[in-house]
Structure 1
Amino acid sequence: MSATREFRRILLDGAPVDVVREGDVLRAGDGREVPAAAAVHLPPVAPTKIIAVHLNYRSRVEEFGTKLPPAPTYFQKPTTALNAHGGAVVRPEGCKWLNYEGEIAIVIGRTARNVSPAEAGAYIRGYTVANDYGLHDFRDTDAGSMLRVKGSDTLCPLGPGLVEGWDFRGKTLRTYVNGEVKQEANTDEMEWDMHYLVADIARTITLHPGDVLLSGTPANSRTVYPGDVVEVEVEGLGRLANHIVTGPTAVRTDVGAQPSESEEVLSTAQGGDWEFRGIRPPRR
């Protein structure tokens, strides 16, 4: 197995700088160093697009009592949703149902178009940790596109770094809320692996260096609240941490669909079985 290397992007002396992680230290190309724990992180890549698969982990499928389609389906998150390790995830004022989804992000390294699954690995630069947050208050109106559900500002943290030479097989993913494990799964649970996802998208969509593909989340995505600290840890990729805050302004009411609280919203946010527990979930 080849050795891994981890690259990060940080704000160093007021400018975005690419650095290499060497133990607990981040080193820039000009020799400047900063402790990793003290660095102000930026997203480790600057993609032209972010594409995410809907369902991929068996536990997630079983949780919702459904079955996988014969092939993956996808949605897109705008690049304005990007966030970084240590960043605040903003729940807009007036919204209630913000859920975490711990994931692994594939980062493209070479322009890819019409490649086979067997060839796809050569087009992947590396991997990073992701949290594919969903603002389910808008699920009734954006269920098809998932645009506001998954694409609102700050809802795509990536990081802390981009790891090259990492083998995705047999790796553990965990999501923590305030230090307590909420999601745990192994990548071998995925129906479609990283190479398959890249090849599938690249059949009709050109993937450019830096583009990001989110590979799905396991069971137990649940609602988080302002003040919560959410961390996603992937074996060999590191631990991505973010905190939840309330936005300073409410979603405008003079235009567009408004946040809703239908059975579908609640069922998705609380795992598909909230109504059978006889207890309405907390609101904060």
Structure 2
Amino acid sequence: MIIRYERNGKVKHGWQVANEKKVRVIEGDIYKQDERKPVMTGLELPIDELRLLAPCTPSKVVCIGVNYKDHAIEMGKELPAEPLMFIKPSTTVVGPGEAIVYPSLTENLHYEGELAVVIKKTATRIRADEAEDYILGFTCAIDVTARDLQQRDGQWTRAKSFDTFCPLGPAIAPKLDYNNLRIVTKVNGEVRQDSNTKQMVFKVPELLEAITAVMTLLPGDVVLTGTPSGVGQLHPGDEISVTIEGIGTITNRVVTES
């Protein structure tokens, strides 16, 4: 799996075999296929010496609302006829272990565990049957929402866009059966969401076709594919984790805005 890390002030990508404690350094651009394409070096580093970062640096995060059947039932909403899109800015992104800041502007902070798609190359007006060629891999995401602001505003930009509202990680898994993955969210060790990507209304290829009909996705951009049932509140001091089969677990703690 692909990780992104900081060591001695330098940021690089590396390759970690699942459950191993060493990372092989990658040189070059993980998104390039020309002379700058990534090369797996022979240098291995202990993972304990590295600070894991968000595995990619998207120009934007495109999100899909009400895309799980069980979540639609939970919210009392009909299944959408087409994907419901919104955007989180790049400044929402943080990595594993980084703080989620509880803003003073909200009194009702919510979590949503999600499967995230990382884009490999520029995608404009692609067809669903072409989607595989544009996917670098998959990672875990936490879509944090100021629910009271969302309800007050009637649209979602402010509620979804505070800094730290999109933890990503811990790694990018290049190959997964994304149509059948268990996704589990825990808060302080208690299971709050336990579902499967089989519940998705619109599958990943359909989402990429619909999104790229509207906007161009750039290398490193991220698509959040929706959340299952079980969404709920977060409070300062809470620890939240999202585990997705075949990827791993991202864990973050909620802190009060200083």
* TM-score normalized with structure 1 length: 0.81
Q: Residue 220 in 1 paired to residue 230 in 2?
A: yes
Structure 2 counterpart of 1:134, one-letter code: T
Partner of 2:2: 7
Structure 2 counterpart of 1:224, one-letter code: L
Q: In structure 1, the residue corresponding to 2:209 is in which secondary structure?
A: helix
Per-residue Cα deviation, 1:230-272 (whole angstroms, up to 9, x for no partner): 0000000110100000011xxxxxxxxxxxxxxxxxxxxxxxx
Runs ≥4 residues deviating over 3 A = none
Q: Could you tell me whether the CA contact under 8 Å between 1:93 and 1:247 is conserved in 2? A: yes
Q: Residue 167 in 1 paired to residue 140 in 2?
A: no
89-98 or 187-196: bigger deviation: 89-98
The 5 Å alignment of 1:83-102 reads 83-93=94-104, 95-102=106-113
The 5 Å alignment of 1:71-150 reads 71-93=82-104, 95-144=106-155, 146-150=156-160
Give the distance between the partners of 1:215 and 1:129, measured in 2 at CA: 11
Give the distance between the partners of 2:110 and 2:133, measured in 1 at CA: 33
Q: State the 1:25 CA deviation.
A: 1.9
Q: State the 1:95 CA deviation.
A: 2.9
Q: 1:26 aligns with which of 23, 27, 49?
A: 23
Q: Residue 229 in 1 paired to residue 236 in 2?
A: no
Aligned length: 241
Structure 1 counterpart of 2:8, one-letter code: D
Q: Could you tell me whether the CA contact under 8 Å between 2:95 and 2:167 is conserved in 1? A: yes
Give the distance between the partners of 1:93 and 1:246, measured in 2 at CA: 8
Give the distance between the partners of 1:89 and 1:26, measured in 2 at CA: 27
Larger radius of gyration: 1
- What percentage of residue pairs aligned between the two structures are identical? 35
Q: Could you tell me whether the CA contact under 8 Å between 1:63 and 1:219 is conserved in 2? A: yes
Runs (5+) with no aligned partner, structure 1: 1-5, 249-284
Runs (5+) with no aligned partner, structure 2: 27-40
Taking only aligned residues, the RMSD between alpha carbons, in angstroms, comes to 1.4
Q: 1:52 aligns with which of 44, 60, 63?
A: 63
Q: Could you tell me whether the CA contact under 8 Å between 2:22 and 2:44 is conserved in 1? A: no
Q: Residue 17 in 1 paired to residue 12 in 2?
A: yes
* TM-score normalized with structure 2 length: 0.89
Give the distance between the partners of 2:3 and 2:76, measured in 1 at CA: 39
Q: In structure 2, the residue corresponding to 1:93 is in which secondary structure?
A: coil
Q: State the 1:227 CA deviation.
A: 1.0
Partner of 1:201: 211
Give the distance between the partners of 2:255 and 2:172, measured in 1 at CA: 26
